Amino acid sequence: MLAPLGRWRTCIFKGRPANLLGMPAKVFLDYDQAELDRQYNPRAWATNAEAAIAAYGSDSEAVRRRLGPPLSFAYGPSAAETLDVYCASKPRAPIHVFVHGGAWRLLSKRESAFPAETFVAAGAHFVALDFALLPAVDLSEMVRQVRSAIAWLHRNAGHFGGDGERLYISGHSSGAHLAASALIADWQREFGLPPTPLKAGLCVSGIYDLRPVRLSARRNYVLLDDAMEEALSPIRHARRIACPVAVVYGSGDSDEFKRQSREFAAALGVEPVEGAGLDHFQIVDTLAEPAGLLARIALAQMGL
């Protein structure tokens, strides 16, 4: 008698696990290992990835030349725990915090200033965060640092003329995961803050459930155990989010990045937004364009 499909043993097929029919074994949903790895490699889905990533830095440098150097503050004890503020001219302006991507192991606040000019011109302070990256710290510590930066801004916004009661956050790619992890924080228990210091969030082309990450090639540097997977998967704690959140992805994102975004939006009870004609790297550029998709969403959230 033949065994049920789900109970077939595996063998080796061209160096990969395979079932007894000789087909590559499924490791998550309908993906074999090679395809799951490709799904979680955004560079495989964009022909311009290297140029787009390089442009984050050059565009940020151009913004600094036009706006002048930012104010820099330490929000924690380590060298990585700093933030740059690009200041609006009006007093007690709202604050937009941007959490950069980079697969949790690349980029910094220096490459994250490219949207600043749009926010400053609209009357908002723009904050580019720095935080320690993998593998220097683990993902739990990265999340803790991002949350600590938000707590510092809530308490210390007066140092640069900001309104700590009007904090907004956005994040792209792995930064969207970190932003979502900030949105699910227990602010009262962890920091003694009001329950909702963040007034709205914008999560762009992110990862919100870490289970497939643990099964993909990213497991080689994103080291997670079961407890971390549970605690650091924002979709599993979406009920904690008490402010409006927009969830956006690009039409050129991988199927898995799209699925993650759609399911996170469904858990929040909102409709996801697809950026037509934009890949994983292009979509964040629209945060820097006053009439761009992300800028329009973020500024509307702030009432600007």
Distance CA 46, CA 44 (A): 6
User: pTM of the prediction?
Assistant: 0.92
Could you tell me the residue ranges of all domains in the chain? 1-30, 40-301
User: 139-156 vs 174-183: helix axis angle to the nearest 10?
Assistant: 60
Report pLDDT digits (tens) over 246-280.
999 999 999 999 999 999 999 999 999 999 999 99
Q: Would you say residue 122 has pLDDT above 60? A: yes
Condensed to tens digits (0 to 9), the pLDDT of residues 67-89 reads 999 999 999 999 999 999 999 99
What is the CATH topology of the domain spanning 40-301? Rossmann fold (3.40.50)
